[in-house]
Amino acid sequence: MSNKIKIVIPCDEANHVCDKTQYKNATLWEKIKLNIHLIYCRACREYTKNNTKLTKTIKKAHIECLDKNYKEKMRLDLDSAIKEASIN
């Protein structure tokens, strides 16, 4: 295995890191590699720009998610309905 530090990343990895950054899951090293990639890749800069715009729009919308207990009840109700439908 090579001990070389890999700075240049492919577009699919850059997009994955961009998504992780959006959810604050990217490491500092991933962010550095992403920023280096963005210097020379116009397509990924556009992807990152759109991702950032989407994140800001969602935050500005003040979307409220369902309570976890309510989601679980809905899942159990759905499972029950599926079982009932498959019996008939």
Per-residue pLDDT reduced to its tens digit, 34-44: 999 999 999 99
Q: What is the pLDDT of residue 4?
A: 67
Per-residue pLDDT reduced to its tens digit, 51-66: 999 989 988 888 778 8
Q: Where are the domains of the chain?
A: 11-87
CA 8, 16, 43, 49: dihedral to nearest 10 degrees?
-120
**Rg of the chain's alpha carbons, rounded to an integer?**
20
Length of the chain: 88
Task: Tell me the two tokens of residue 5.
Answer: 């530090």
